Amino acid sequence: MLPTSKQIKMNIQVRKALIKRARRRTEQLITYQQLSDECSLGLNMAEQFDRNAIAEILDEISTFEHEHGRPLLSSLVVRANDGHEGKGFYKLAERLGFGDRRLLEEGFFATNQINECIAFWQNDTNFSTHQ
């Protein structure tokens, strides 16, 4: 099934919001609900259907980034209750070939992706070339 123009617009909007976050000097991480609110997605993270919807958007964005040799932007999105990425992030990383999910969930992978993401997008040349 092809995405609708609204979905494509949302994905571009979410991607730009995450790039903007990565370029900040502080508070680069954002919760799933904050991201939905900031991008006017109208999702409620208390609802499983909405959590699946934002996971799909983030999966698409990070797959795109990975295919273009860039760090996973979805590493910047964390759960409100514990400040960690959701299980979908690790499933995606495993699917993209970063390793076994159990090893990824130990925390080093996410931290490395966050740091790489921030470093990549704070580089003005990368930003002007790849935004």
Q: How many independent structural domains does the chain possess?
A: 1
Is residue 75 domain-resident?
Answer: yes
Whole-number pLDDT of residue 106 = 76
Whole-number pLDDT of residue 11 = 87
Average pLDDT over residues 2-17: 67
Whole-number pLDDT of residue 2 = 44
| Residues sharing a CB contact under 8 Å with residue 96, sequence separation 6 or more, in sequence order | 62, 63, 66, 72
Task: Read off the pLDDT of residues 18-65 as tens digits, 9 standing for 90 and up.
Answer: 999 999 999 999 999 999 999 999 999 999 999 999 999 999 999 999
Is residue 1 domain-resident?
Answer: no
- Structural domain that includes position 124: 6-130
- Higher pLDDT: 130 or 100? It is 130
Q: Which two tokens stand for residue 83?
A: 């400040």
Length of the chain: 131
